[in-house]
Amino acid sequence: MQTVVFRIQEDHNGLWSLWTGDLVVSAGLRLGPAIKLARALARERCSEDARIELVSCGHTIAVDRC
């Protein structure tokens, strides 16, 4: 089973982008909506192992598992 990672990454303008692998799912989000979107996408993949990472200034500051 492969782990699916959704990465919420802070942009230079203070907004957030949601990534999966090398692909941007959505950009220009506030943090709350970015987390909600990541959790919704992770729930869709609960048959697989899903993980959500919150990245700020290049450092992973939080990890959540589905």
What pLDDT is recorded for position 16?
97
Band of residue 1 on the pLDDT scale cut at 50, 70, 90: low
Query: pLDDT at residue 30 above 90?
Result: yes
In contact, 37 and 25? CB cutoff 8 Å: yes
Q: What pLDDT was estimated at residue 47?
A: 62
Provide the pLDDT for residue 44: 85
Q: What is the mean pLDDT of the segment spanning 56-61?
A: 88
Is pLDDT above 80 for 55?
yes
Token pair, residue 40, equals: 């919704």
The CA angle 11-17-18, to the nearest 5 degrees, is 150
Domain boundary assignment for the chain: 3-61
SS3 sequence, the chain? CCEEEEEEEECCCCCEEEEECCEEEEEEECHHHHHHHHHHHHHHCCCCEEEEEEEECCEEEEEEEC
pLDDT band of residue 27 (cuts 50, 70, 90) is very high
